[in-house]
Amino acid sequence: MSTWLAIAGVSIVVFLLRASFILFADPHGFPPLFRRALAYVPAAVLAAIVAPGLLMPAGAIDVSLANPRWIAGLVAIAAAALLRHPLGALCVGLPALWLLQWTIG
Partner 1 sequence: MTSRSEFLAGARDIAPMLIGTMPFGFVAGVAAISAGMSALEGMALSMFSFSGIAQLIVSQLIAANSPLIVTIAAAFVVSLRFVMYSAAMSPHLAHLDRRWRAALSFLMTDQSFALTVKHYGEAGDKSQRHWHFLGSALTLYVSWQAAVLIGIILGTNVPAAWSLDFAVVLSFIAILVPVVRTRANLAAALVAAAIALAAAGLPYRLALVVASIAGIAAGLGAEALHRRA
**Rule CB under 8 A: is residue 21 a binding residue for partner 1?**
yes
**Rule CB under 8 A: is residue 14 a binding residue for partner 1?**
yes
- Going by C-alpha positions, the residue among 50, 49, 45 that lies closest to residue 73 is 50
**Rule CB under 8 A: is residue 65 a binding residue for partner 1?**
no
Burial letters 60-90, b for 16+ CB under 10 A, else e: eeeeeeebbbbbbbebbbebbeeeeeeebbe
**Rule CB under 8 A: is residue 67 a binding residue for partner 1?**
no
- Among residues 31, 41, 58, 64, which is the contact residue for partner 1, using CB under 8 A? 41
Residues in contact with partner 1 by the rule CB under 8 A = 2-11, 13-15, 17-23, 25, 27, 33, 35-56, 59, 61, 69, 72-73, 76-77, 80-81, 84, 86-90, 93-94, 97-98, 101
